[in-house]
Amino acid sequence: MADKWTYRCEYVKCGKPTCKSCPHGPYWYGYQHTKGGMKKTYFGRRDPRETMGSGKAHTQHKYDAIFNRQTASLKLAWEILGCLHELPGKDEALRQFRKLVMAAHPDRGGSEQEMRWLNSAWSYIRAAKRW
């Protein structure tokens, strides 16, 4: 069985109330699916898909900006979640995120790229809002 990798970009909050640069990241993790289970590997701040030479040409999409600390923003994260403006509460935002995940999940016919955008956007919003 060939090993399959799934990559995920995550943002984290440091927890310091005086931190002006939260959320921190993006941090890239790779999940390796093997016969014996799953292994999580930390890749740092660089997108491992670009450095590993996957053989695929990576074309830029406007949502790819969520993977870069300098270009990521709350406005972009809300746009990825399909919101024209910021949702008023955590519960409504979580409801919207879950609805989109159900439609975009690869097991339900969606694409892995959409899931990366959604997960990164949700991670950014959670860290920025300190939810």
User: Would you write out the chain's pLDDT as a tens digit for each of its 131 residues?
Assistant: 455 777 888 887 777 888 877 777 788 888 887 777 888 888 887 777 776 555 454 557 888 888 877 888 889 999 999 887 887 788 998 999 999 999 998 888 888 889 989 999 999 998 888 88
- pTM check: above 0.75: no
Nearest to 117 by CA among 130, 131, 129, 100: 100
In the sheet that 4-12 helps form, which strands lie side by side, from edge to edge?
4-12, 24-34, 37-44
DSSP 21: S
Q: How far from 48 is each of 8, 52, 97, CA to CA, in Å?
A: 10, 6, 25
Q: What is the residue extent of each domain of the chain?
A: 4-129
Q: What 3-state DSSP class applies to 85?
A: coil
